[in-house]
Amino acid sequence: MAKFPRIVLTKSGKNMIASSQVGEKLIFTKVQMGDGIIGEADEIQDFIALKQPKLDLTIKKSENKGNGQIEIVAVVDNSGLTSGFFGRELGLFAKIGDLGEEKLYCYTNSGTQADYISADPIEDGTPYKDFIAIDAVIGSSQNVTVVVDESKIYVTEERLESHNEDPNAHEDLLEKLPSGVPTGTIIAWAGTTPPTGFMECNGASLSTTTYSGLFNAIGHTWGGSGNSFKIPDFVSAARFLRSQGNGLSVGDVQEDAIRDIKGRVGATPGNKRGNQPPPVATGVFSAFAEFVGHSSAVNEGNSWGFDIDISRVVPTADENRPKSAVVMYCIKVTDEYVNPEQVDMSEVSRGIAELGVNKANRTEIKELARTRLWRSDVNGGYDLMPVKNTPTIVEHNLNLDIENVRCDVLLECVADNGTYVVGDVVRCFWTMSGANNELPLIPFLTASTIQVNTGNHSNGVFVFNKSTGAAFAVTLTNWRYVFRIWY
């Protein structure tokens, strides 16, 4: 956007300030751009309009700075333009009272440093959009109103950087930037590793607090009780899914079955010498007849019987199934965002700028705000229990520049043990290589792997009791490692 010099109050603007200071309402109505050129004889204070107005800008936000100035933010939108122009002129309009006449309040002109405002969309029919902030003098006026169009929300780099400096700005970031896929959604995944935020539907037991969003969605429908609940298990029996209804409810599980298979057999009377016609057979049955022999009238005749073969009427295998293609069923467990304190919104804004558009929609912000996070349990598919005196090595294959990443390792409870329940996570713990040799569990990271070493004293890993604070050796089979890498 063009570089504008200091904005100048017009005589109309000064008169409006005087009126507002005696109690009348000062209303800012719009911002206007034009391509007029200031002549040597022009006096800006005398202007009542732009020299060559081209585009009305909608006011999107205002802020009374409390120092005798107000900041007005307007959006430049070329969707209504029929021809381009150089955006030299910039004017802020206002009026006194609801029925007052709209007049030019203040004015500035960028001269030769103007930007060209094209009438063409930037790409795919998207209008060009940018923002202009005007700091206007209002003196000691208290009764100031700004006409703001809140029909659309726009993001500027300056606004995001200011937002990033606010210590409370990101408190609810996870709720403000949801993925759009509701927690508890089940998808058929064509890969072998669940996507970010999903787990395979393998019947795992989870903590109701750690995964509170998922628990609120599915409760104990699929098993568990108290502080733990289970996700659906479609792995152990390789189950197919079907809709609720016809006497079935969500969470019901059925074993395999087939419809009844029937057939019929019958025979017709033989002749007086004992010859039997072939028997009648339908469905899964087939009939056969064999000649017995010929020695006398009494012994002459045929023998007959039945075979059963279901493959005569249906395809058969060692299981009952419809036609199928194998996928991984995954359930949405959480939106995988890093802690809001680790999101640098200035980087987000720069990313938005690189998109080439100034209107940042919700999806774009969501993707830019996501710091990349790799987890051994979600992205790597690892379920790793610590083993005493044994290093645990995981391949992440991220090809990292390890000087610019952060990593840690957690212990997640996988079996209730009286002190911790399933899903509880411990971050402050250590290993013991001797009775008095405590070693903090610091992961060793390389470009493609991450590793921790478990001690050889007692059970090898010690944590604090969350109630008493006393240290105790954990039962290793009750816990699993979760490695995390931010990159």
The DSSP secondary structure of 56-125, one letter per residue, reads EEEEEEEEE-SSSEEEEEEEEEGGG-SS-EE--EEEEEEEESTTSPPEEEEEEE-GGGPPEE-SS-SBTT
Total residue count of the chain as it appears in this document: 487
pLDDT per residue as tens digits for the range 326-339: 889 999 987 654 44
Task: Give me the domain span that covers residue 74.
Answer: 8-154
**Rounded CA gap, 360 and 153, in Å?**
9
Structural domain includes residue 73: yes
Judge residue 77's burial from the number of C-beta atoms within 10 Å of its C-beta, 0-12 exposed, 13-18 middle, 19 or more buried.
Answer: buried
Structural domain includes residue 252: no
pLDDT confidence of residue 391? 87
220 SS3 class: coil
Are 404 and 296 within one domain? no
| CATH, residue 430 | 2.60.40
In this prediction the pTM is 0.36
Are 34 and 137 within one domain? yes
Average pLDDT over residues 398-419: 83
Q: How many domains does the chain have?
A: 3
Average pLDDT over residues 471-480: 85
Final residue in a domain of this structure, among 154, 181, 202: 154
pLDDT confidence of residue 358? 44
Structural domain includes residue 199: no
pLDDT per residue as tens digits for the range 94-124: 999 989 999 999 999 988 888 888 888 776 6
Q: Six-digit token pair at 71?
A: 């900041």
Are 39 and 135 within one domain? yes
What sign has the CA pseudo-torsion 372, 378, 381, 383? Answer: positive
Least confident of 363-377, 413-427, 436-450: 363-377
Are 30 and 103 within one domain? yes
pLDDT per residue as tens digits for the range 422-460: 888 887 677 766 666 667 778 888 988 998 888 777 778
| Residue 237 banded pLDDT, cuts 50, 70, 90 | confident
Structural domain includes residue 84: yes
The number of beta carbons lying within 10 Å of the beta carbon of residue 3 is 9
26 SS3 class: strand
Mean pLDDT across the chain: 77
pLDDT confidence of residue 175? 45
Average pLDDT over residues 349-364: 48
**pLDDT > 70 fraction of the chain, expressed in percent and rounded:** 74
Are 57 and 142 within one domain? yes
Are 395 and 299 within one domain? no
- Looking at per-residue confidence, does 201 or 6 come out higher? 201
pLDDT per residue as tens digits for the range 89-101: 999 999 999 899 9
CB 250 within 8 A of CB 221: yes
Are 379 and 273 within one domain? no
Average pLDDT over residues 394-402: 84
| Residue 200 banded pLDDT, cuts 50, 70, 90 | very high
Average pLDDT over residues 145-150: 66
pLDDT confidence of residue 442? 80
Are 293 and 411 within one domain? no
Structural domain includes residue 126: yes
Are 12 and 149 within one domain? yes
Structural domain includes residue 418: yes
What sign has the CA pseudo-torsion 77, 100, 139, 166? Answer: negative
Are 303 and 427 within one domain? no
pLDDT confidence of residue 153? 40
| Residue 235 banded pLDDT, cuts 50, 70, 90 | confident
Average pLDDT over residues 455-467: 79
- Looking at per-residue confidence, does 170 or 235 come out higher? 235
Structural domain includes residue 369: no
Average pLDDT over residues 127-142: 80
Final residue in a domain of this structure, among 94, 125, 154: 154
**Rounded CA gap, 422 and 204, in Å?**
10
Residues 6+ apart with CB under 8 A from 272: none
| Residue 298 banded pLDDT, cuts 50, 70, 90 | very low
**Rounded CA gap, 306 and 247, in Å?**
39
pLDDT confidence of residue 229? 93
| Residue 139 banded pLDDT, cuts 50, 70, 90 | confident
Are 283 and 381 within one domain? no
Are 298 and 415 within one domain? no
Residues 6+ apart with CB under 8 A from 333: 183, 197, 198, 199, 206, 211, 214, 231
Least confident of 84-88, 173-177, 261-265, 369-373: 173-177
Final residue in a domain of this structure, among 127, 154, 181: 154
pLDDT per residue as tens digits for the range 36-54: 999 888 999 999 999 999 9
Least confident of 168-172, 200-204, 306-310: 168-172
Structural domain includes residue 51: yes
pLDDT confidence of residue 161? 56
| Residue 245 banded pLDDT, cuts 50, 70, 90 | confident
CB 110 within 8 A of CB 3: yes
